[in-house]
Structure 1
Amino acid sequence: MEDIEIKVGIEVILSYKRLSYSPWYALAEFVDNSTQAYFNNQAAIEEQLRKDGERLTVDINYNRTNNTITISDNSIGMSGEELRNALMIGVPPDYDKGRSKYGLGLKTAACWFGNFWTIETKKLGESSAYKVTVDVNKIAKERVFKLPTDIIDSSPEKHYTKICIQDLNRQYHGKTINKIKEFLSSLYRFDFDNINLLLRWQGEDISWKGFEGRFYITQDGKPYKKPLSFTIGENKVVTGWVGVLAKGSRKDAGFSIIQNNRIIRGWPSAYKPSSIFGDDGTNDLVNQRLVGELFMDGFAVSHTKDNILWVDDEEEELELKLGELCADAKALAGYIRVSSFNVVDDNSDAIRYEALSLFESELKSSEIRDKLFNEIIPDDRAITASFQNLIETTQRNDEPVIEVSIGEDEDVIFIKVFFRNVSEFEPYVLIESSIENNTLLVIINLLHPYWQELKNLDSYLTFIRHCVYDGISEWKASKKLGRLNHDTVKYIKDILLRLPFEITNNKFRE
């Protein structure tokens, strides 16, 4: 039997529309080409841009009515031979580093977007521009191997590339368009500063806000942002940093993976290894505040350039080392309580006033009038007897979820916290303390409507803290005065509510 010859049919071009692109990564292929052409010819193009009074610019315009996308730049452009090579399927450029090293992006992205496209380009210093037309369906149906090409006389000082894609396979609307702008702002965050890139969507400048000014401020007045450096395998170096935001969101948290100063994966859909961030869907404080960047230039990436292609146990090793190096940051992110002077949030006043407005509506509701003036309140003895019965039942049948002692000898308190899950009509919390035995019982009703409204770790922690500190404050006031004095109870609780911030600063003080 003769050796089998492998041939790739021209019809493969039809399959490009089924690639697993997202629109922002598909558009990034064109921006990659523009910026890589700039890097390959930096001295020449910078000199010309200074003469032109321009910055390196990439414009993206989407016309839903005409069903077109146009991407144009003022980078150095392509010669006829360079354009020919760029349109050859699967032929990489003559360099193996950079953002356009696979020889696929331009063709795959353009065909993914639409079925008919043109590319016009003019290289700085040459006297001809070239325009090539690509009709995807015609190429596949008629097996066209030659693309119609126009040669246009032009001035040597001109330099540009313009790609117009028609007959789009998909239409884009508000939410997707917002995500396109968000992702592009993140993907090229370094180019905005390093090469003064001007990237525009529909004429609107895209920029990167970043995380500066949002980090948690430590006791020494410095933002919590620590450098990282480690090796995967024998020689793959990972560098970067990890930080803790004073206030964040699930969208903010996670690591951005970077290669050639271009984000491979990052905000607003960052890399979150489960060993650090837990299972997907978790929304605790770590998943809102822990953030970082990982520079991974030695690693292979997918042909769509949206993820790392892990080899063997690389990802497991990275997770292990990253987890060890980020242990303190993770602990801090999950522990800190945000103080008013530690948050840089332009919307903080608006949020506070919105909260006040909502609560004011609650105070003005007919429901609260009914509760205050129409609800029948049993006498003290009936309430005490009912509550005492619930306390005794809980002690007999349930195990405490927290059982701790604070202090020693005579200066001691024994605390037991119970979760009760029996009836929504029981009190939100029951507290029983004894100054003779220095004991405190706190029983929290998990079926109470207020508990059911809690949404995340932060709200659960706050509610439990208030319940327990109410009990401790009452016990301490009774022990000190032999009776309950409301002002003394509030004074003691004020001291206790300052504890989380004090503990955090002592724990992470450098």
Structure 2
Amino acid sequence: MGTVNEELERYTVSQNVSIRPGVRMLGLFPHMRYREWYALGELVDNSLQSWISNRLALQEADGPDFQLQIHISVDPADGGLITVRDNAAGIEAKDWGRAFQVAEPPSDATGLSQFGIGMKAAACWFARRWSLRTTALGDPVERSVEFDVPAILDAGMEELEVDEGAVAAAEHWTELRLWDLHRTPRGRTIAKIKDHLTSIYRTFLRDGRVMITYNGDPLEYTEQPILVAPDWRDQEGEPRTWKKDVHLRLDSGRRVTGWVAIRESGKGREAGLALLYRGKVISGAGDDLYKPVEIFASQNSFESQRVFGELDMSDFDVTYTKDSLVWFDEEEDVILQLKEELESEPLPILTQARNYRARKPQDVPRDRLLEVVNRTGQLLRNAGDLGALWTADDDGKNVEEATAPSYLTADVTREAATPVDRRFEIAHDGESWRADLELVEQPAIRDWLTVQRADDGPTPLVRITVNQAHPFMRAFCEMPSQDLEPVWRVAVAVGLAQEVARSRGARFPNYVTQAVNAMVRVLAVQPS
């Protein structure tokens, strides 16, 4: 037996591989509307498909616990270098004739490798130059080819030289190297890449059969906790797990399956539907949320904060960039059927998401409520004479002071019947007024806003009360990421405006708060 070098010489053979037809498309790929995570995903797809197609052979060769490993590394130095390496089954010799021809689909197009364009397009989108080295399972030959895209286009090349060398037959891997980059992932883009890739390949990462790393860091998908709670209509009832299986069939015969659930706690950036195609998330990964308004209502609705799920859309097609579905004009049908399913008994997901409250209004910390009324009072005092505001230019100059006078926290009163009660001195038309600002919790009272004027004392007194137990407050001030303070300020503004109008001689100014109370009870209803 000869030396290693002699063995390599024995197996080294120069061959050519065709890159026609469509070689001119290589110059178009850098201008595609890719995002970095979808472009890297095309390279990951090749590794996954090799593993899927050869899973039994890989387990037979390396044991039943074989784990596919895909390692992505990005080095921004010297023009940038991206490397994607896997331990899948490699590219067999018989597939080399097709693998580098643009738009030449594989013989089996039922997996993630479907159009015969993804690897070439993504590599050229990232880099001016790239190479591929691989050795197939059971093949004692390593093959490599290099794409110098500017040189290929300048010379009009239609074939590239393939280098071959000897390796152990037990080896199996593929390595893609991309350099002289058009675009190098940096800064926040890196975090988004990792977040999106984790979400896109969640079904492959879940059970540990596949590991993907980015610069050595494993991508790990974290499952979102599902709400376990009683039906909102029966708060004392038995807790239920709010997750529903979905089975839809369209008139075309296409099916949609999966599940939809309610998050344990609301978080808009992690809610929404993930649409999967052959196990890969095509829409709804990372911050690319799929939230049709018919189901999720407005951006700040409870549904938009809480509802999430995964739907298998494999009966549909995908675009050749595999970043969106081809709906065949059936998206509306899917949405309407899904909405009907999610509103149906005995597990009405949307109704529960819309009406269930994880906490009660009185759970708001008292210190937080005190901050709200204190700041509101500060703004009113900083405004100066309220009468002047009626004629002042709308430039905000009267309310722009950065800090409040120290006496604003003085003259504090507390009553047992109210969780928060603050009194402030304000000026109106040169006269000193007192304003009592209250936040109460009284479900028996129908009104949201109450304004009372006392004229029997030496100083005019206005008492403005906001009822936190009102349906309007329950609907909008308990929403995830929402704040009590803006609603509180509007209520105070309406109450003071009524009394200012009264002092200016307006007839029946109390009609203002009567109308407001009637309207907000209607407006408290969440959109369906």
TM-score by length of 1: 0.69
Change beyond 3 A, Cα 1:413–1:262:
closer
Q: Distance in 2 between matches of 1:315 and 1:432?
A: 44
Aligned partners of 1:194 and 1:153: how far apart in 2? Answer: 35
Shift, 1:86, TM fit = 1.1
Contact 2:144 2:163 in 1 (8 A): yes
Q: In 2, are the aligned partners of 1:59 and 1:73 still within 8 Å (CA)? A: yes
Pairs aligned (count) = 403
Q: Which residue of 2 aligns with 1:251?
A: 269
Q: 1:139 to 1:386 in 2, by over 3 A?
A: closer
Report the Cα distance in structure 1 between the residues aligned to 2:139 and 2:461, rounded to whole angstroms. 83
Post-superposition Cα deviations, 1:212-269, rounded to whole Å, max 9, x if no partner, equal x343533423321111111123311111111111213221111000121111112322
Alpha-carbon distance in 1 for matches of 2:268, 2:285 = 10
- Match for residue 297 of structure 1? 314
User: SS at the partner of 1:338?
Assistant: coil
**CA distance, structure 2, for counterparts of residue 427 and residue 198 of structure 1:** 69
Is 1:116 aligned to residue 129 of structure 2? yes
Conserved 8 A contact 1:229-1:239:
yes
- Asked if the contact 2:425/2:434 (under 8 Å) is kept, the reply is no
Cα distance 1:373–1:148, how it changes in 2: closer, same or farther (>3 A)? same
Alpha-carbon distance change, 18 to 278 in structure 1, aligned in 2, over 3 angstroms: farther
Letter in 1 for 2:85: S
Secondary structure of the structure 1 residue equivalent to 2:171: coil
1:491 matched to which residue of 2? Answer: none
**What are the ranges of 5 or more consecutive residues in structure 2 without an aligned counterpart?**
1-19, 231-236, 378-401, 412-423, 437-442, 452-459, 493-523
> Which letter does structure 1 place at the counterpart of 2:317?
A
Assess if the C-alpha contact under 8 Å between 1:238 and 1:296 holds in 2.
yes
Decide whether the 8 Å contact of 2:435 with 2:461 is kept in 1.
Answer: no
Match of 1:226 among 207, 229, 244: 244
Distance 2:68 2:251 in 1: 38
Shift of residue 113, structure 1, vs aligned partner: 0.7
Distance in 1, Cα, partners of 2:129 & 2:353: 50
Aligned to 1:273: 292
Query: In structure 2, what is the Cα distance between the partners aligned to 1:9 and 1:299?
Result: 27
> Structure 1 residues 277, 171: CA separation in 2 closer, same or farther (over 3 Å shift)?
same
1:131 and 2:144 equivalent? yes
Structure 1 distance, partners of 2:27, 2:293, is 37
State the identity %: 26
SS at match of 1:91: coil
Paired letter, 1:58: I
Give distance in 2, aligned partners of 1:432 and 1:198.
54
1:295-334 maps to which residues of 2 (within 5 A)? 295-311=312-328, 313-327=329-343, 328-334=348-354
Given the alignment of the two structures, is residue 262 of structure 1 paired with residue 293 of structure 2, yes or no? Answer: no
Q: CA deviation at 1:339?
A: 3.1
* Contact 1:285/1:458 (8 A) holds in 2: no
1:217 paired residue number: 229
| Separation of aligned partners in 1, 2:434 and 2:301 | 39
1:271-291 CA-to-partner distances (Å, cap 9, x unmatched) read: 111212246xx2222211111
- CA shift at 1:187, angstroms? 1.2
Give the 3 Å change call, closer, same or farther, for CA 75–27 of structure 1 in structure 2.
Answer: same
- 1:236 has 2:270 as partner: no
User: In the alignment, is the contact (CA less than 8 A) between 2:130 and 2:179 conserved in 1?
Assistant: yes
CA distance in 2, matches of 1:428, 1:133: 81
CA distance in 1, matches of 2:282, 2:461: 52
* 2:62 counterpart of 1:49: yes
Q: Is the 8 A contact 1:121 1:130 kept in 2?
A: yes
Distance 1:383 1:245 in 2: 51
Structure 1 residue 190 corresponds to structure 2 residue 203: yes
Q: Which residue of 1 aligns with 2:464?
A: 430
Instruction: Determine the structure 2 residue equivalent to 1:86.
Output: 99
2:357 to 333, 337, 341: 337
Partner in structure 2 of residue 142 of structure 1:
155
Deviation at 1:296, TM superposition (A): 1.2
Q: Is the 8 A contact 2:449 2:466 kept in 1?
A: no
* Aligned amino acid, residue 69 of structure 1: I
2:188 matched residue in structure 1: 175
Structure (1 or 2) with the greater helix fraction: 1
CA apart distance, 1:376: 4.3
Q: Distance in 1 between matches of 2:60 and 2:466?
A: 79
Aligned residue identity for 1:333: A
Amino acid at match of 2:327: W
- 1:390 maps to none
Amino acid at match of 1:240: G
Please show how residues 14-29 of structure 1 align to structure 2 within 5 Å: 14-29=27-42
Distance 1:305-1:377 versus aligned 2 partners, 3 A rule: closer
TM-aligned CA distance change 1:429 to 1:107, over 3 Å: farther
Q: 1:284 aligns with which of 298, 301, 304?
A: 301
Provide structure 1 residue ranges, at least 5 long, that are not aligned to the other structure: 1-6, 341-350, 388-405, 407-411, 420-425, 434-441, 445-450, 469-499, 501-510
SS in 2 for 1:93: coil
Contact conserved, 2:301 with 2:479, CA < 8 A, in 1? no
Counterparts of 2:302 and 2:445, CA distance in 1 = 30
Is residue 242–residue 261 contact of structure 2 (8 Å, CA) maintained in 1? yes
**SS of alignment partner, residue 57 of structure 1:** strand
Distance 2:486 2:63 in 1: 57
- Structure 1 pair 287–455 and aligned structure 2 pair: CA distance change class (3 A): closer
Structure 1 residue 35 displacement after superposition: 1.1
Q: Residues of 2 paired with 1:196 and 1:223: CA distance? A: 28
Give 3-state SS (helix, strand or coil) of 2:196's partner: helix
Deviation at 1:141, TM superposition (A): 1.3
Q: Secondary structure at the residue paired with 1:148?
A: strand
Alignment of 1:56-75 (within 5 A): 56-66=68-78, 67-75=80-88
Structure 1 residue 145: Cα displacement: 0.7
Matched residue SS, 1:251: helix
Q: Distance in 2 between matches of 1:427 and 1:129?
A: 89
Q: Are residues 1:152 and 2:165 paired? A: yes
Residue number in structure 2 paired with 1:163? 176
Aligned to 2:46: 33
Indicate yes or no: 2:410 matched with 1:373.
Answer: yes
